[in-house]
Amino acid sequence: MANVVVVGAQWGDEGKGKIVDWLSERADIVVRYQGGHNAGHTLVIGGTTYKLSLLPSGVVRPGKLGIIGNGVVVDPWALGDEIARLAKQGVTITRDNLRIAENATLILPLHRELDQMRESAAGDGKIGTTGRGIGPAYEDKVGRRAIRVQDLKNLGTLGPKVDRILVHHNALRRGLDQPQISKEALMAQLIEVAPKILPYMDVTWELLDQARRSGKRILFEGAQGALLDIDHGTYPFVTSSNTVAAQAATGSGVGPHALGNILGIAKAYTTRVGSGPFPTEQSNDIGEQLGQRGHEFGTVTGRKRRCGWFDACLVRQTIKVTGITGIALTKLDVLDGFPELKVSVGYMLDGERIDRLPAGHNAQARVQPIYETFKGWTQSTRGARSWTQLPAEAVKYVKTIEELIECPVTLLSTSPERDDTILMRDPFQD
């Protein structure tokens, strides 16, 4: 059996929550390997809706272990709120079903404040951050001044690390004409939050190595999509971590050989939250219709998603960059009833055809999509669980997408319900 990495093949919000939940029934361990609580997953199980942002999706299933890996930045206050919220829905989080990497970086209140202050000061130059402190926390990690989970064990010797992080942050706050933070105030926050997170701390790389050697199936759960990757995304309108599949190894402490199959998740159309280029965006009735039918609002932020046609050129690019071996195509049912559908097969840039999205954001903003048009279908695909239940035009649409993205569609989702899924190939099979 193979382990599986799930990665978004667009700008996030591709429906990973349902797919990860569907796969987690077959897995023993589910690992979050990057991002923070800025990414939301909505799970619908037995009529109950669970909204997760930091916890791995497997925690809502009995007998599964969820791991927050070292590549994740952890807001312990947000984590405590999420655990309390799930408890009200009958899901108890204990050390039996959750472990957190001892070397994961903490998001502190000063990170959230800096994130919001800088975005507010940016005016028209906003990146579109969620304001949750993810970017500043990753900056401190790379700057080697972060407070990590394991530091909470030894608060009595934490003074020099607190001094180091405050030298940096107070200089920034002075520049933004904001009050400085005292060492005593930050220490009090750390003392207050330590008991909320330390019970879950573990040497998770070792735990994963033991699980792999014993033949357990591991599901590596990505947060945002590949197009938000700090290196390979639509920079600078990206997140602050690597979101491609290779990060599953670095962000959890396993070797690349342990990753197995790479399952990319893509919607049958395209959405994006926040600022940045979006070649196939439909700022018209079609975009509104896609948004209303698809309930396109962010799980965590509630922000309205921008909507547009499927971009085969862009998905093909992310498949190659991130090593995707199969695509899970979601929300096919949202396209029911459209008389015609369009798919971008390439771009025109300054009078020249290109088959990739350029790296420069000015060039990205100038590309014009080249569309192929397809006949739509009037029958409903919602809830279909086999190819025979799909109209011929819908089957043709999926098969054409396979050809254009140069990758097989191995799983097809036709509603938010986990069982409304057509499986062509089990990702856990070698």
Residues annotated catalytic, as ranges: 13, 41
Q: Which of 226, 370, 237, 362 is nearest to 312 (CA)?
A: 370
Spatial contact of 8 and 404, defined as CB atoms under 8 Å apart: no
- How is 270-303 classified by DSSP, letter by letter? EEE-SSS--TTB--SHHHHHHHHHTT-B-TTT-P
CA–CA gap between residue 120 and residue 177 (Å, rounded): 13
CA–CA gap between residue 49 and residue 390 (Å, rounded): 27
DSSP state of 61: S
Distance of CA 406 to CAs 6, 218, 327, 399, 403, Å? 18, 27, 10, 11, 5
At residue 328, what is the residue type? A
**In terms of residues, how long is the chain?**
430
CA–CA gap between residue 405 and residue 149 (Å, rounded): 41
In the three-class reduction of DSSP (H, G, I as helix; E, B as strand; rest coil), residue 49 is classed as strand
DSSP state of 59: G
CA–CA gap between residue 296 and residue 289 (Å, rounded): 10
Q: Spell out the SS3 assignment of 65-97.
A: EEEECCCEEECHHHHHHHHHHHHHCCCCCCCCC
- Please count the CA atoms within 13 angstroms of the CA of 274 that sit on its side-chain side: 26
Record the tokens describing residue 16, joined without a space.
């990973």
Spatial contact of 74 and 201, defined as CB atoms under 8 Å apart: no
Record the tokens describing residue 425, joined without a space.
């190939």
In the three-class reduction of DSSP (H, G, I as helix; E, B as strand; rest coil), residue 11 is classed as coil
Distance of CA 114 to CAs 53, 78, 181, 249, 393, Å? 21, 17, 12, 30, 50
- Largest pairwise CA distance in the chain: 68
